Structure 1
Amino acid sequence: MLSPAEQLPARLPRGLLRDLPKVCLHDHLDGALRPATVVELAAAAGHRLPVDEPGALGRWMRTSAGSGSLERYLETFEHTVAVMQTPEALVRCAREYVEDLVADGVVHAEVRWAPEQHTAGGLSMAEAVEAVRLGLSEGVLAAEDAGHIVSVTQILCAMRQGDRSLEVARLVVDNRDRGVVAFDLAGPEDGFPPSRHRAALELLADELIPVTLHAGEAAGVASIRDALATGRALRLGHGVRIAEDIDIDLAGDVAVVDLGRTAQWVRDRGIALEVCPTSNLQTGAVAAFGDRPDQHPVDMLYRTGFTVTISPDNRLMSGTTVTDELALLVVHFGYGLEDLERLQRNAAEAAFLPLEDRSALDGLITEGFEGLYA
């Protein structure tokens, strides 16, 4: 079977999609490692991998992640997290992450990760955050020296099933002027609601720190509502199961859209959905709608006025990039340049950046799409 990139129409070749300026809001650092890097770091750390050849490891990751279960998907992180326990490893992974963004045409990214998972080698969470900051800075400076514009900020995650969210929230506050822009809850969604982390979320609200929470991936509309009400989330990580709160009836050639209260709140207030199509299909997040790319509700959400953004989630496990995710939309939903530009503007507007920086980002998008509509 041909990949979406191989099915692209001549008017939108993959090279053009790659070169378009893109904004990435939902990208996990521990899910973005290069297979060769995992192999090298595992050998240095004495960590045993299921396979130790980069190509085979990449295939194993994609197969395991494509099981249809979020829990099985998350198991693949055992190996990436295990090799990210030293300052040197974190610096390298962060620097290479920026290099891969540049190769993908991304001009701004907000990379998220959970510091509490990177202390097994003796690092404090603060030291881990500093190592990632250093690696990102090295990558950005190298990109600038090579003539590329890219900015990268950090979103710190606390694990839903853990008990360190207040520590992580304080770490976000402490690093708000050092490239950390927001807080997230990651890990098993079902059974671990934001209300378990009320103290952390209240601290963040008091400090006026933005929050984006994983919601509407492994659990449904009630989880999204809790993220909004308890978590005060300004964006939703994935959020695709908001589609379960929407009814569409066809009356002849006219579609009548009926939004539930939660869906209406999300749409009308422009709360951005951080949609990751390939990952959603792998984890079964959109199983209620089907298991094929053309059955993903992303297009329905986009057409009915939701603030949809597109990200890869985990580049290694999903074998994807932002370019690949856009190619999927072009092939399966017929998206054109206007749609792709709208998606990038949505992401730029939703980025956790000052207004002046978001305006500059919007200018980069305008410049990148200019002259392509002829």
Structure 2
Amino acid sequence: MLRDFSAQSLFMGALIAFVGFASSFAVVLHGLTGVGASEAQAASGLMALSISMGLCAIVISAVTRLPVSIAWSTPGAALLASSGSVEGGFNAAVGAFLVCGVLIIVAGLWKPLGRTVSSIPPALANAMLAGVLLSLCFAPVKAIAFNPLFGLPIVLAWAVIGSINRLYAVPAALLTFGLVIALGVEMPEGALAGLSAALVPRIEFVPPVFDAAAMVSIALPLFIVTMASQNIPGIAVLKVNDYHPDPGPLFATTGLFSMLSAPFGGHAVNLAAITAAMCAGSDSHPDRTRRYWSAINAGIAYIILGLLAGVVTTFVSLAPPVLIQAVAGLALIGAFSSSAMAAFAEAETREAAAITFLVTASGVSFAGVSGAFWGLVAGGLMLGLARVAKRKA
């Protein structure tokens, strides 16, 4: 293995970790606090996720010798942000995270469940995701309305840098966010001492509570979103680059590491899609048999970034929440546009997708169950009725 190591893979691994962490950690923090996590629990969850996905990437890539990039479930974090607190608080959410990890393992090892998830109409899965992301994508506009001097520079940095290189758009917005906090937000007394104290990693154990409403509101939609929006596309990216692993063991391994991170506040880790293309592409290394080192190096970098999660969370807490929500919203605009386009592409499923999208985006809960689940149910019923009517005709 050491003979396959290269400086190119080291640089690419560091870049992958920076892009993966910087572009979506705001979404993760917003999602965890959205389901009731305290600042310390959100920092612990961010740390647990980053370390888990780093270790997962190292283990999978070292064993398979394939460039398998791992990420946290960004769509899943967006789902949490829109779900809101459930009965039982964050402890119930952690119980749902554990069940989601079990479902991912079962989907990897038991093919009927994997086939069932794959059989969910893509239009409905994408419509549910688009509905989940919609409210978060409003945040940049809300940030400008809140304070143009704070919100506008963040949005402009994202737009200008994104027009040059889309990969660096969100990191540019994040850097501008940091400058806005440092230069424009009055630091409370003791802020520097708090940042110094946060340099010491602190993990928070959250005893899980298994609540039926949380299972339906969080565990099931989180499982579907993670599989449909991350794991399955992650396999597709590898196949496009002429790597053909058995998907089952990869899914099961990500489910195992999801379970390991859950008691400390992490929601889910999974196969990456965007950074997977960076890992598996020729920029990682001209020799395709040596590209797996990029994923290993990214894993090491993720672990290092995870140990700094306390500092990141403490710094972010110094700013008005709407500003970090704006960065999260900007990070999700691409995912929203892609999922919305895929949801409404086919005329046959367009009406059912619209129902799924509208029910999910409404954010309304019924019987303590979030709109994401009911959106999928409503869209599925609409699609079923349409197909029955078509057969009778």
Name whichever structure is richer in helix by fraction: 2
Both proteins in one fold, TM over 0.5: no
Normalized against structure 2, the TM-score is what? 0.26
